[in-house]
């Protein structure tokens, strides 16, 4: 009697089952922080998710250096937003994530910096929840921390700045800023998206009690190879930004901590981290 060859049919059935399972599987969305720019600053967990993703939906602030290291076989969809230039509205981005997940795809929603900090995170998570989509959140190094580390100073200091405040200078609903509350000498202020508001930041903080010679540090394209940084003061910050022709993305640090590794004189320069710390 001839023996039955069961191996081949079983293997075919197994392959067919896996094919169907892949077609019918539930998609997932991972919201991942890319870090401030330097591709080495993405978290290990975030990088693993990028390598196993089937499609990446990414923002304008995700650095090209990081994108270049992602395998070209992974599909990418750009949904970046610049001031006055939005490739897609937020509701359209929400719907895109839902549609991709409904196709059974493993999706990474890649955001610059940390999506928990001014990253429109709540709107996207709420949309995924309402659609019944599985999601996870992977934080990233926020720009405030990454750029400070690159420049060589701490965001907080027990004696001069025991607290830290992150402020978005640009608000979609134009919610007023409580400048009197911000004008404190024992805090570090970090303004995101503040280049268009430099004159107002200077005027309001001085009017509400901070001295004109209070230290300010601009960091443009932080942690990238073409990073620039300029030390100035509240009184001179508007002219500094204009003369340096600063561009986005830029952060504005206000407070004594920027002097930790920087000179005490009120000079402007782009190699401040190389200068000796004050005594």
Q: Which residues contact residue 199 at a Cβ distance below 8 angstroms, ignoring those fewer than 6 apart?
A: 238
Do residues 45 and 37 touch, judged by C-beta distance below 8 A? no
Cβ–Cβ under 8 Å, residues 220 and 147? no
- Which of 13, 40, 81, 213 is catalytic? The answer is 81
Cα–Cα distance for residue pair 44/33, rounded to 1 Å: 11
Q: How would you write the chain as a 3-class SS string? A: CCCCCCHHHHHHHHHHHHHHHHHHCCCEEEEEECECCCHHHCCHHHHHHHHHCCEEEECCCCCHHHHHHCCCCCEEEECCEECCEECCCHHHHHHHHHHHHHCCCEEEEEECECCCCCCCHHHHHHHHHHCCCEEEEECCCCHHHHHHHHHCCCCCECCCECEEEEEECCCCCCCCCCHHHHCCCCEEEEEECCHHHHHHHHHHHHHCCCCCCCEEEEEECCCCCCCEEEEEECCCHHHHHHHHCCCCCEEEEECHHHHCCCCCCCCCCCCHHHCCCCC
111 is catalytic: no
| Catalytic residue selected from 38, 45, 59, 111 | 59
Residue 81 annotated to the active site? yes
CA angle in degrees (0–180, nearest 5) for 167-178-115:
20
Residues known to be catalytic: 59, 81
């Amino acid at each position: 009697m001839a023996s039955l060859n069961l191996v081949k049919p079983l293997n075919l059935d197994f392959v067919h089952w896996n094919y169907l399972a892949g077609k019918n599987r539930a998609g997932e969305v991972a919201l991942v922080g890319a870090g401030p720019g330097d591709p080495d600053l993405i978290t290990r967990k975030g990088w693993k998710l990028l390598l196993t993703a089937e499609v990446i939906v990414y923002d304008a602030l995700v650095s090209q250096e990081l994108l270049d290291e992602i395998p070209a076989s992974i599909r990418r969809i750009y949904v970046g937003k610049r001031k006055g230039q939005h490739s897609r509205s937020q509701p359209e981005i929400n719907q895109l994530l839902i549609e991709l997940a409904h196709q059974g795809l493993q999706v990474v929603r890649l955001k610059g910096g940390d999506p928990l900090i001014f990253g429109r995170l709540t709107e996207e998570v709420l949309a995924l929840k309402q659609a019944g989509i599985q999601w996870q959140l992977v934080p990233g190094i926020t720009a405030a921390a990454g750029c400070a580390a690159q420049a060589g100073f701490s965001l907080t200091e027990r004696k001069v700045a025991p607290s830290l405040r992150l402020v978005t200078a640009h608000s979609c609903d134009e919610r007023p800023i409580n400048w009197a509350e911000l004008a404190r000498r024992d805090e570090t202020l970090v303004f995101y998206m503040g280049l268009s508001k430099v004159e107002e930041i200077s005027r309001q903080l001085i009017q509400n009690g901070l001295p004109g010679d209070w230290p300010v540090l601009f960091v443009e394209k932080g942690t990238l190879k073409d990073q620039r940084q300029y030390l100035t003061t509240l009184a001179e910050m508007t002219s500094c930004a204009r003369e340096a022709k600063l561009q986005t993305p830029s952060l504005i640090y206000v407070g004594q901590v920027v002097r930790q590794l920087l000179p005490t004189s009120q000079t402007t320069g782009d190699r401040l981290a190389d200068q000796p710390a004050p005594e």
